[in-house]
Amino acid sequence: MPLSTRSFVTKMPDSDPFLPLPPSEVMQVVIVTGLSGSGKSTAIRVLEDLGFYCIDNLPVALIPRFLELCMNSEEPITRVALGIDHRERVFLRNYPDVLAELRHRGQRVRILYLEAADTVLLQRFSETRRPHPAAGSGGIAEGIQVERERLADLREIADQIIDTSTYTVHELREKLRQLIATSQTQSTLVITLESFGYKHGVPADADIMFDVRFLANPFFIEELRAKTGKEPEVATYVLQRPEADMFLTHAGTLLQATLPLYVREGKSYLTLAIGCTGGRHRSVAIAEEFERRLIGWGYTVHLRHRDLQR
């Protein structure tokens, strides 16, 4: 099902869901779940490309036995992804017991939950002309709400939530690849740094948000209007002003003080959003500068400019 957007929501897992396997080759199990039309099939294909053995809608009663067979095969399979949706009613009823049993066996289990806004899901189903699997005799909108309700408890315990509302299918693939590739680093906190324009709406997934509309706007300088904050002329205009230096200094002090506390509390992913009016000049220049500083402090950073091309 085609995707049309790009937003990233995080929860606070107790550890990185995609860390490399330890030397003992403890099995790594990723349960991929979420709303129909949100990109679960895409996520499964990406995980398969990255070396996970993937299986979709395996009956819950077979999961422990299947994982046991994987570990005891001639060549043990130590990275497995399981696709689960609302149709697996037994899993939705019994998942606490299932997860507890798997973890008791020493298997590393993490839940990846994908979702999107109702309007986006309606558009995707309309474009494909497919019926919603939870609609029954009702319409697509009713099916979406039924599915949200059935999966609400599972969403609450998810280790990672990805809102695909603003992702294209290619961007979702790249985000998942980055997420898993990042696990090869030693960083304890992965930061998604996102610039945006307030006139296009605020990111729903931001953990921390800074508004930089108080800075002088290059849009009103004719020779800078068509450029972006990634270009040196605009970056210089924005950054080489006392108010920008003051902001970066104080915001940097705040982040240096609080980011280690997020790590202490077990947060593995954090989204820092920087907003200006249109998302092309000030927020971009500030985000680029924050990326440089955060990397210098030892964090892994994924930088994206949501509204740069608008």
Mean pLDDT confidence for 128-149: 80
What is the maximum span of the chain, computed from C-alpha positions, in angstroms? Answer: 68
Lowest mean pLDDT among 29-38, 171-180, 188-197, 282-291: 171-180
Residue 93 has pLDDT above 90, yes or no: no
User: CATH 3.40.50.300: which residues of the chain?
Assistant: 4-182
Report residue 99: phi and psi, to 5°: -65, -40
Mean pLDDT confidence for 14-23: 41
Task: Indicate if the alpha-carbon torsion angle 223, 226, 229, 231 is positive or negative.
Answer: negative
- Can you give the pTM of this predicted structure? 0.58
The residue type found at 257 is A
Token pair belonging to 111: 């839940």
Token pair belonging to 166: 């603003």
pLDDT digits (tens, 9 = 90+) for 197-213: 999 999 878 899 999 99
Domain 4-182 listed as CATH 3.40.50.300: yes
